[in-house]
Structure 1
Amino acid sequence: MTDSFDDIIAAARPLIASAPVCDALDEHGYHRQILPASIRPVDDGTVLFGPARTGSYKVIHERIANIYDLEIALVDDLKPGEVCVMATGANTAIGPWGELLSTRARYLEAAGFLTDGAARDVVAIRAMGFPVFTGALSPADTQYRGMMVEKDTPIRIGEVAIAPGDIIVGDVDGVVVVPRAAALAVLSTAMGKITGERRMRADLEAGMSLAEAFAKHGLL
C-alpha cells in the first residue's frame, strides 16, 4: 500500500465508494461523518472524490451589487481534483450552482461540486458528466435569496463539520467526509476493504455460503 497522501488519493480515485469509506471511518472512530440523505447526485453514475474547497452563504432578500464576486473567486481558484463545497444552512431556496459554474470547474479539472442548497441546469450538467451533488433542484438564482460571505473557512452541512482540505467521498449511496488529518489512515483502510470485498464476492459467486465467506473474510 502506498504511504503518502497524494499516492493514496491517486490509488483510490478509480475504485473509491462511499460505503467502504464509511466503514473505514467507523473503524477509526469517526461515526458521524455522513451528510444528510437529502443530498443526492444530479447523475447517479457520478462519483465525488477529493479535498474540499469551502464557501458559506447568508440569506438575503434584496438585490445586491457584486453579489457573485466571492463565489466567482472560489470557482476560479479551484485546483485539479478539488471539490467545491457550498453550505447554505440547508436553505434550498439558495441555488448557487448551474451549467456555467460546472463548465468552468470542469475546465479547471475540479473533481465536482457539493451543496446542501439547490442546483439548476440539470440536463446540461448531466450531459457534461460533471459530478454535482445537491440538496434540491431549483431554477432560482442566488440574487434576492443568498450571498456567499466566506470562502475557504470551516463550514457545517447537517451535523458534519467540513474544513478546507477534508476529503469528500460521494456516490449514489450518499456522501461522507474524511477529516484531512485522518485521511491517509482512513483511505488506506478503505482500499483494503475494497480489495477484500472483491475477493469475498468472487468466493460467493463461486458458490461459497455467506456464513463461510464471512468467516473467511470478516466482511459484510
Structure 2
Amino acid sequence: MSDDRNVARAGAMDTATISDALDRLGIVGQCYRIAGRDPSFRMAGRAFTMLCGPASTPPGTVGDYIDDVQEGHVVVIDNGGRDDATIWGDILTEIAHRRRLAGTVIDGISRDVALCRSLGYPVFSRGHWMRTGKDRVQVEATNCPVNIGGARVAPGDILHGDADGVVVIPQAHEEAVLAAAEEIHAVEGRIREACRGGMRLDEARARFKYHQLQTRQK
C-alpha cells in the first residue's frame, strides 16, 4: 500500500468520480478503451512510463526495466494501441507482483491473463492475445511522456483503475482534480441519503445542484 497521500485519495474514489472532476477542469485524463483483464482489478499509483515501437533490423529488446520500477508505482506502456503482438506476460506479472508494484497499464495488449488473475495483479490494457512481441516490438524510451488511450501520461502522474477503466491525474493538477472529485463524491452521497429518506430524485438533484457538478469551470 502506498504512503503517498494523494495516491491514497485517488484510490479511495471511483474512476467515474475522478472522470467527472477532470471534465469540470477541462483535463483529458480518461484512457479510452483501456480496461482491466478482470473486472475486480483496482489500482492506484504513480506512473513509470515506457514508449514502444515496431522492432528494427536487427530487433531491439522489449526491455529489462522491471527491477527499476519503485514499489507502489504503475508500469505504463505506450505500444501505440497495437493489438497483434503482446508487450506484457507472465514473467513480468510475477516479478511485478513480487516487487509490490501497483499495476500495469498498456495502450496495447497483454497475455498470460490467467496468472495476473490468480495473483490478483492488476493489468489494464486494450485486450489480450497470446502472440509474443519479441522481434516485433522494442522499447524506444523510458520515463518520458506517453499516450494511453488518448490521454497524456507523464512520469509521476497518478493513475487509477477500476471496473470502469483507467484515469490519469496529471501531477501539475492533482490537488485541483482530487479536491473537485472529493466534492463531487460528497454531493452524490448527500443525494443518495436524501433519496433514502424519501425525497424524490429530481428534488434531491436540484437541491444539491447535481447537474452542475461536471460543468466546465472557467
How does the TM-score come out when normalised to structure 1?
Answer: 0.86
Distance 1:198 1:48 in 2: 23
1:195 has 2:190 as partner:
no
Structure 1 residue 188, shift from structure 2 partner:
2.2
Where do 5+ consecutive residues of structure 2 fail to align? 212-218
Match of 1:36 among 24, 29, 32: 32
Structure 1 residue 187, shift from structure 2 partner:
1.2
Which residue in the other structure is 2:214 paired with?
none
Given that 1:116 and 1:136 are in contact with CA atoms closer than 8 Å, whether structure 2 keeps it comes out as no
How does the TM-score come out when normalised to structure 2?
Answer: 0.87
SS state at 2:50 partner: strand
Which residue in the other structure is 2:135 paired with?
144
Structure 1 residues 159, 8: CA separation in 2 closer, same or farther (over 3 Å shift)? closer
Distance 2:35 2:8 in 1: 25
Q: How many residues of Structure 1 are paired with residues of Structure 2 in the alignment? A: 209
RMSD of aligned Cα (Å): 2.0
Structure 1 residue 141, shift from structure 2 partner:
1.6
1:22 has 2:19 as partner:
yes
Which residue in the other structure is 1:57 paired with?
52
Which runs of at least 4 in structure 1 moved beyond 4 Å after TM superposition? none
Structure 1 residue 191, shift from structure 2 partner:
2.1
Where do 5+ consecutive residues of structure 1 fail to align? none
Instruction: State percent identity of aligned pairs.
Output: 32
Which residue in the other structure is 1:47 paired with?
42
Which residue in the other structure is 2:6 paired with?
8
Given that 2:191 and 2:208 are in contact with CA atoms closer than 8 Å, whether structure 1 keeps it comes out as yes
Distance 2:106 2:129 in 1: 13
Given that 2:10 and 2:44 are in contact with CA atoms closer than 8 Å, whether structure 1 keeps it comes out as no
Given that 1:8 and 1:188 are in contact with CA atoms closer than 8 Å, whether structure 2 keeps it comes out as no
Distance 1:61 1:92 in 2: 18
Structure 1 residue 61, shift from structure 2 partner:
7.1
Structure 1 residue 155, shift from structure 2 partner:
1.1
1:36-185 → structure 2 map (5 Å cutoff) = 36-37=32-33, 39-60=34-55, 64=59, 67-68=61-62, 71-73=63-65, 75-185=66-176
1:216 has 2:169 as partner:
no
2:178 counterpart letter in structure 1: L
Q: Deviations over 1:4-39 (max 9, x none)?
A: x932322442x2211110111122221x322222x2
Structure 1 residue 195, shift from structure 2 partner:
2.7
Structure 1 residues 219, 45: CA separation in 2 closer, same or farther (over 3 Å shift)? farther
Distance 1:158 1:9 in 2: 21
Structure 1 residue 179, shift from structure 2 partner:
1.0
1:113 counterpart letter in structure 2: T
